[in-house]
Amino acid sequence: MRCQGVTKKFGALAAVDDLNFTVKEGEVLGVGGPNGAGKTALFDAISGVNPSTSGVIEFDEVRIERMPPDQVCSIGLSRTFQLNSGFDSLTVLENLMISCYFGASKRKIPGAFFDAKTRDEVTETMEFVGLADFAHEEVRNLPVYQRKLLMIGSAMSRKPKLLMLDEPVGGLNPSEIDKILELVERISARSVTVMLIEHVMRFLMHLSDRVLILNRGRRLFEGLPSDVLSDRNVVEVYLGERSANALRSQMST
Amino acid sequence: MTVQTRPTHRRSAASPDYLILIALLAVGIVLPYFMDSRYAMSQLTLFLIWATVVSQWNIVMGFAGIFSLAQLVLFAVGGYTAAILGKYFGTDMFLGTLLGGAAAVCASLLIGFACLRLRGIYVALLTFAIAQAAFLLINSDTNCIIGSGQTCQTLTGGPRGLSQFGDYGFRQLLGRNYIVGNYYVALTALALAVTFSIVIVRGPLGFAFKALRDNETVAVCSGINRYKYQLLVFAFSAFFTGIAGGVYAAHFKVIGPSVLGFPLLAFLVSMLVVGGLGRLWGPVVGAALLMLVDEQLKEFTEYRNLGLGAIIIFFIVLLPDGVAGMIERVSKKFRGQLGEKQGHWGRWRTRLGMPMGNKLHKQSSANS
């Protein structure tokens, strides 16, 4: 995927300001930056939820910057949300069935029943993300970790080529973070390209092949995760000296 | 535990909705043998026609979330198409009824293209405007297509409506019991319409609309195109609504602009509200109750609209999910008590009471 001159304006404020970058096939691109840096606005622009004001977004040589979200989804670009979003009155299984049935297939007119293929795939997805024991739980009753899993599972059941995760571990405890980390590694191993937003730097640095740090809608840093901590700008604007030091010692052990 | 919660690939034999449908259909089939009054048969036929229209309206409004007030326009398109074809081209009324359904689909696509980009109250306003425009257009139709002056015949018959366009021909077949024939035609239409409703509500489309209601952003990002699916459901339900219009025309052998008037609109909305909007069986329950009430209040016709208004207010304030919703709640409570004793099976039973209950739950119970 290639973004060129992508800009998203809310009135006079440019949430995303003339941003250029590419995501290479098969890589994991981590996106970081302080609150209000435009990370989620960028995701909204790419996924068509809240289209960009100007610029070109290309995915697999198709221009998608004006595509409605359902179409973006159907060409293989799937995202999760920062908030715990699902279909609250339905069960985990139903959520995944809907995602798989409408997100993964190219059918023009929905049939009368969910087909066996959808059922098989959803069963597989539930086992892949670890939700099999919660299949019949209503989503509104799910604990936060399972809701995160469900969002990733729903996104995966749409069979994406590019998976965009918006704060997949926000609000989780360290052991849960480790489990999601391991899950994203397994997703990446299935040759799905991943783009993820995260504030938990340990998570971001561990997973990413490359890191893009935004500030005020612009690129502050783009490069290898190992270089993030030595970049003066990132430390000053985003991380702060103390947490950068803490991270450095964490990474070296 | 794990076995229980995993989905199986067995397709459920029959949903309880289909069982209810079959049971009701059986009652409907034998009913004429216990009726000796032609008036009662005629009113029953009318009930079947209204139940068909309201069941489709319920799919559109209660499930697909389209606040359309143009349902009777589609009904009128079906009825007028059958009548006009019968009158000017001598078309057989069975064929005319089917063509009426097709014409209603075309009309629904036109209305849908114009309205469904909008949402909520704006859809209601625009479709109501369309209904009023159609009413006025027919009422003020003065272009003679045959003859002039005293013999003037306009295409739609204007305020007098159309008549003498034929019927289903049961009079030759059944003699003075011909209404029974019409009754069975209407019963068939209702059965098809309700089957269609069950398929929509319990199938992927029903879930898509449920998803859109729960969280539109996530639904859209899951590949659900609201506009497309709403248009699809609107067009399909228009077919059965148009069919109902054709049956109405053939049964009464007359159709006039009153089918687009406010009193009928209020009558059918009451059925929808009393039965329970968004409940699969609400329309049938509502249509039956309102027909009965209407029958009792025949002597007080001048207060009919007032009474309907009072009924609508009463239900919206006190029983917003209608009689069907009330029945569901009561039976859910009952099943809930059973459920505590019966564990998973009971919980599954409880879920089936929900309007969007589905076969997935049933399958897990098959394993337990």
Residue B344: closest C-alpha in chain A: A136
pLDDT score at B167: 85
Would you list which residues of chain B are within 8 Å, Cβ to Cβ, of chain A? 1-2, 5-7, 9, 11, 199, 203-205, 207-208, 210-211, 214-215, 217-225, 229, 232, 356, 358, 360-361, 364
- The answer to whether A45 and A195 are in contact (CB under 8 A) is no
- The answer to whether A79 and A43 are in contact (CB under 8 A) is yes
Please report which helix (H) or strand (E) contains residue B271, including its range. Answer: helix B262-275
Nearest by CB to residue B223, choosing from A73, A94, A122, is A73
Q: How far is A81 from chain B (nearest CA, A)?
A: 8
Q: How far is A195 from chain B (nearest CA, A)?
A: 16
CA A131 – CA A137 distance, rounded (Å):
10
**Residues with Cβ < 8 Å from B124, sequence gap 6 or more?**
B67, B68, B69
pLDDT score at B289: 93
B170: phi > 0 → left, psi -120 to 50 → alpha, else beta; which?
A: alpha
Would you state the CATH architecture of domain A2-76+160-252? 3-Layer(aba) Sandwich (3.40)
B199's tokens: 């398929």
B2-5 long-range contacts (CB < 8 A, ≥24 apart) are: B2/A132, B2/A133, B3/B367, B4/B344, B4/B364, B4/B367, B4/B368, B5/A132, B5/A133, B5/A134, B5/A135, B5/A136, B5/B364
CB contact under 8 A, A98 and B207: yes
pLDDT score at B6: 41
SS3 string, B181-247, reads: HHHHHHHHHHHHHHHHHHHHHHCHHHHHHHHHHHCHHHHHHCCCCHHHHHHHHHHHHHHHHHHHHHH
B10's tokens: 């067995």
- The answer to whether B346 and B340 are in contact (CB under 8 A) is yes
The predicted-structure confidence for A184-242, as pLDDT tens digits, reads as follows 999 999 999 999 999 888 899 899 999 999 999 899 999 998 888 888 888 888 888 88
Identify all chain B residues contacting A73, using CB atoms and an 8 Å cutoff. Answer: 221-223
Q: How far is B79 from chain A (nearest CA, A)?
A: 28
CA B335 – CA B345 distance, rounded (Å):
10
Identify all chain B residues contacting A45, using CB atoms and an 8 Å cutoff. Answer: none
Residue B195: closest C-alpha in chain A: A112
B341's tokens: 């004793």
Domain locations in chain A? 2-76+160-252, 87-159
Selected for mutation to probe chain A from B209, B218, B356 (highest A CB count within 10 Å) is B218
Instruction: Give A165's DSSP letter.
Output: E
CB contact under 8 A, A47 and B221: yes
Nearest by CB to residue B222, choosing from A73, A113, A114, is A73
The predicted-structure confidence for B288-334, as pLDDT tens digits, reads as follows 999 998 888 878 878 888 888 888 899 989 988 899 989 888 888 88
Q: What is the CATH number of the domain that holds B158?
A: 1.10.3470
- pLDDT less than 50: residues of chain B: 1-13, 339-368
pLDDT score at B12: 44
Q: How far is A99 from chain B (nearest CA, A)?
A: 5
pLDDT score at B346: 40
Nearest by CB to residue A136, choosing from B199, B203, B364, is B364
Identify all chain A residues contacting B208, using CB atoms and an 8 Å cutoff. Answer: 98, 102, 110
pTM of the model: 0.84
Provide the CB-side half-sphere exposure for B232 (13 A, CA). Answer: 18
Structural domains counted in chain B: 1
pLDDT score at B341: 47
3-class DSSP state of A81? coil
Nearest by CB to residue B223, choosing from A74, A87, A109, is A74
CB contact under 8 A, B364 and A135: yes
Which domain does B114 fall in, by range?
A: 2-367
3-class DSSP state of A53? coil
Show the DSSP H helices in A134-197 as ranges.
Answer: 144-157, 174-189
Residue B211: closest C-alpha in chain A: A87
Query: Does the structure show a pLDDT above 50 at A164?
Result: yes
The four Cα atoms A29, A30, A34, A35 give a dihedral, to 10 degrees, of 90
Of A84 and A221, the structure prediction assigns the larger pLDDT to: A221
Selected for mutation to probe chain A from B59, B200, B216, B222 (highest A CB count within 10 Å) is B222
CB contact under 8 A, A136 and B5: yes
pLDDT score at B43: 93
- The answer to whether B247 and B189 are in contact (CB under 8 A) is yes
pLDDT band at A245 (very low <50, low <70, confident <90, very high): confident
pLDDT band at A253 (very low <50, low <70, confident <90, very high): low
**Residues with Cβ < 8 Å from B72, sequence gap 6 or more?**
B53, B131, B259, B260, B264, B265, B268
Identify all chain A residues contacting B215, using CB atoms and an 8 Å cutoff. Answer: 85-88
Nearest by CB to residue A110, choosing from B2, B5, B204, is B204
Phi and psi, residue B169, nearest 5° = 80, 20
Give me the residues of A, 83-142, that contact B with CB < 8 A: 85-91, 93-94, 97-99, 101-104, 109-114, 116, 119-120, 122-123, 126, 132-136
pLDDT score at A232: 86
CB contact under 8 A, A111 and B229: no
Q: How many helices (H) and strands (E) does chain B have?
A: 17, 4
Q: How far is B123 from chain A (nearest CA, A)?
A: 21
B362's tokens: 């049933």
The predicted-structure confidence for A44-53, as pLDDT tens digits, reads as follows 999 999 999 9
* Residue in the block written with tokens 């209603």: B104
- Which residues are bridge partners to A163 per DSSP? A78, A194
Instruction: Give B279's DSSP letter.
Output: -
